[in-house]
């Protein structure tokens, strides 16, 4: 009987392989995979992530000087255009100004722990540079490079890495934590795409992933991790979804592909601020009016 069952199972598997090969032969395989993403169910969490940073709120009442570390990739580091860094417009610098306006008697030390090219997995090696500053709040911003490097196939590794970051920060610091979902990638060819990217053709694959729903899957995974680990989520991706109903989001990308300009950074800053101050409301019009230049700089944290 066991041999019969095995034979039936093997035959069924053989049929499945033949069907998959037929599909792969009929369709362009990467495009087919991306198209199937649209049909995937949203990753569901047992509950929603916390909507307020209660631990940080307690710290605000107990301390006058607080340390915030922004831990992420090139977006956090301050890159906007290609080979262009603008630390004065980056989201954590704009967050500092919002915090100072809301809590004028406090001192906020904002440390920039962004490094271009980092995925969540490679960033795990840099956690010591965050922990040694004994932060009161850590903003965790990854996903864009994970998407570019691995697409949907990187979701599991991304989840493991983000979970590792959360667990270690909780073990070795007293910091409250914020997970940040990524901003949009470009949805099509646009005037801000620099010639060097257009010539390489690499941007086309990123646009296919954005339009195929890959970043949306990463954003939903981040929400689920936040719910499961009880970590607040600054849902920047949801804010860009709302933005896309009002304007062409490509015009908010400084490098035409995945780096937000000052307006996009302001949107991220306000999304985080809404977690800190429940009375604060994200205002799209206010974000859209932010200028492209600022004078002050944030502190740089050596990786």
Residue 154 DSSP SS3: helix
pLDDT reported for residue 47: 65
Q: Is residue 204 located within the same domain as residue 92?
A: yes
DSSP 193-260: S-HHHHHH-HHHHHHHHHHHTHHHHHHHHHHHHHHHHT-EEE-HHHHHHHHHTTS-GGGGBTTSSS-B
With a cut of 70, which residues of the chain have pLDDT below it?
1-47, 292-303
Shared domain for 87 and 31, answered yes or no, is no
Q: Are residues 232 and 89 in the same domain?
A: yes
Same domain, yes or no: 134 and 168: yes
Q: What local confidence, expressed as pLDDT, does residue 84 receive? A: 86
- Residue pLDDT, tens place only, 57-93: 999 999 999 999 999 999 999 999 888 889 999 999 9
Looking at residue 197, what is its pLDDT?
A: 77
Residues 193, 288 within the same domain: yes
Q: Express each pLDDT in 271-286 by its tens digit.
A: 999 999 999 999 999 9
Any idea what the Cα angle at residue 83 is, between residues 79 and 85, rounded to 5°? 35
- Assess whether 111 and 19 both reside in one domain: no
Per-residue confidence (pLDDT) for residue 49, from 0 to 100: 79
| DSSP 3-state of 42 | coil
Which domain covers residue 27, as residue numbers?
A: 1-39
**Do 154 and 185 fall within a single domain?**
yes
**Count of the separate structural domains present in the chain:** 2
Q: Are residues 159 and 105 part of one domain? A: yes
53 and 98 Cβ atoms separated by less than 8 Å: no
* Shared domain check, 66 and 10: no
| Phi/psi of residue 179, nearest 5 degrees | -95, 135
CATH code at 176?
Answer: 3.40.50.1110
Q: What is the predicted pLDDT for the residue at 97?
A: 97
Q: Tokens standing for 57? A: 């709120």
Dist CA 182 CA 237 (whole Å): 5
Q: Are residues 109 and 130 in the same domain?
A: yes
CB 297, CB 87: distance < 8 Å: yes
**In this structure, are 160 and 288 located in the same domain?**
yes
Terminal Cα distance for the chain, rounded: 62
Please choose, from the candidates 122, 135, 154, the residue with its C-alpha nearest in 3D space to the C-alpha of residue 221.
154
225 and 87 in a common domain: yes
């Amino acid at each position: 009987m066991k041999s019969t069952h095995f034979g039936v199972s093997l035959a069924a598997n053989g049929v499945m392989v033949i069907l998959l090969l037929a599909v792969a032969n009929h369709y362009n395989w990467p495009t087919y995979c991306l198209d199937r993403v649209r049909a995937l169910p949203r990753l569901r969490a047992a509950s929603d992530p916390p909507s307020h940073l209660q631990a940080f709120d307690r710290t605000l009442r107990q301390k006058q000087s607080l340390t915030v570390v922004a831990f992420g990739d090139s977006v956090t580091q301050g890159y906007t255009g290609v080979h262009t860094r603008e630390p004065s417009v980056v989201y954590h610098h704009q967050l500092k100004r919002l915090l100072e306006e809301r809590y004028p008697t406090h001192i906020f030390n904002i440390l920039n722990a962004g490094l271009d090219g980092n995925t969540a997995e490679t960033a795990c090696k840099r956690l010591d540079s965050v922990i040694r500053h004994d932060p009161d709040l850590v903003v965790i911003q990854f996903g864009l490079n994970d998407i570019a490097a691995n697409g949907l196939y990187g979701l599991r590794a991304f989840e493991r890495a983000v979970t590792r970051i959360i667990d270690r920060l909780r073990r070795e610091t007293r910091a409250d934590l914020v997970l940040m979902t990524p901003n949009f990638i470009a949805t099509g060819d646009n005037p801000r795409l620099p010639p060097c990217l257009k010539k390489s053709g690499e941007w086309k694959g990123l646009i296919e992933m954005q339009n195929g729903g890959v970043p949306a899957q990463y954003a939903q995974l981040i929400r689920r991790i936040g719910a499961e680990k009880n970590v607040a989520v600054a849902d920047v991706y949801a804010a860009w979804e709302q933005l896309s109903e009002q304007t062409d989001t490509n015009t908010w990308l400084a490098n035409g592909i995945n780096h937000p300009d000052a307006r996009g950074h302001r949107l991220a800053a306000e999304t985080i601020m809404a977690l800190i101050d429940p009375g604060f409301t994200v205002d799209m019009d206010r974000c859209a009016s932010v200028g492209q230049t600022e004078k002050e700089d944030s502190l740089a944290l050596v990786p």
